[in-house]
Structure 1
Amino acid sequence: MKTSKYSDGQIIGILKQAEAGTPVPELCREHGMSSATFYKWRAKYGGMDASLMARLKEFEDKNQRLMKSMPNSDSSTKSFMKPCKKVVKSSRLQEVALNAVEQTGASIRLACDAAGISETCYRYSPKLSDNIAQIADWLIRLMHNQKNWGFGLCYLFLRNMKGFD
């Protein structure tokens, strides 16, 4: 991470000058910084003194160290999730969650959170129609006979006129 060319004391001094009434554009010109930097500092350090600022930096450093060590730790939500390629289909994510529940005994909620799906998706079971071949045959015939119909019209025709669900 890039370090600032301004020390903590300088940042606090600049913020105190702004609180005293010096216009922000003038401060930015004087110290050679952008106004975006000033407003970012004010949002982050506004109302702090040097000791609070040092303590904040200490907490940020500690947080960075913890975040770096996180992948090495054995987190309960990731212990059963093996690193694999990115899964896109919700049906595949459902399989991952089902396997996690069966193999590790994790709760459904934990498995769904780790897989990134809802519990509704976890419990979903598709209702396949017995007459798929018949529907496919009708779709092919409709495409040849009604060339200007899109999928929506074909779907509505088969559902409303032919009674397919």
Structure 2
Amino acid sequence: MPRKAFTAEQIINKLREAELILNQGTTVPEACRKIGVTDQTYYRWRKEYGGLNVDQAKRLKDLEKENVQLKRLVADLSLDKAILKEASPGKLLSPSQRRQVIAKVRIRLGISERRACQVLGQARSTQRRKESITDDEAKLTLRIIELASKYGRYGYRRITAILQIAGWRVNHKRVERIWRKEGLKVPQKQSKRGRLWLNDGSCIRLRPEHKDHVWSYDFVAERTINGRAFRILNIIDEYTRECLAMKIGRRITSQEVIDKLFELFLLRGIPKNIRSDNGPEFTAKQIRNWLNRIGVNTLFIEPGSPWENGYIESFNGKLRDELLNREIFFTLTEAKVLIEEWRKDYNQIRPHSALGYRPPAPEAVMSAVLT
């Protein structure tokens, strides 16, 4: 027969009944037989509940239950702490990382999969899912690493665009997964700057509306390894984001600026506006008179406000971030070659976020990527 469980109230009543029987001169075994328990049970009850009333016995049982619950809670918290300590000290950002850590924790602590998944925030279905690796995974990984090595300042979205242009059937999620798995990353850039707005809410800067509507040009300074400085004249089309020309020289005069613009005007046509800062090469009477004679409006930004010329400043930042800060130029000739190669990549290969991750000059993209 299964053992009968007595409540605290029943135990107290049986002890009182036994006490009355014993007061009549009956022995303990006889009293135990009459109340229906063994001698061992009687002595155990008397030890636990002797001298207690029913309310006190109930309270004692409640305290025992609370004590058991607290012990279980402390044990659970200790186990959770041990699981988190055994896991990776950093953040587990991907399901694959959690999957590996959970397997390691289960082996070392001997806990269940359910408990490990609950503590580390992993769905059990995700933990049990077998990762499927396609046949081209290794080849794609090598290609991503090659592009990341070649274009060190490109993130996984630009790499995805390059792969798609080259014919890979891949989305940014898969590239991001491989990107994180291989530990690839791009260091954080400087924070964005605001624009100069007028009191009426309009922006000082004329916005480009079509190709050859607004050009911008500006200078960037750099040095060769012997410490000698050279300058780079950058000219871009603000609407298409295309870099039209980059002239390199130890010094570039106003006449040389006119010569370079003359070449571009013959090749592309005359723009409606051209924007620049207030540098002496751009504000010189010679160049201003020449531009006015051929019908080009000159737009000068406010002194000390480079954000008004945001397109060319953004281009200069990409040039310095992706090339100038990564290369050591031994000679001026080497600088000209490398800078021109970067200009071609910028126009034909580099995906531009403002253009839907397409290059500024996409007609030459496929041949450039395949070669």
Relative to the length of structure 1, the TM-score reads 0.40
Please tell me whether Structure 1 or Structure 2 has the larger radius of gyration of its CA atoms.
Answer: 2
The structure richer in strand per residue is 2
Relative to the length of structure 2, the TM-score reads 0.19
The structure richer in helix per residue is 1
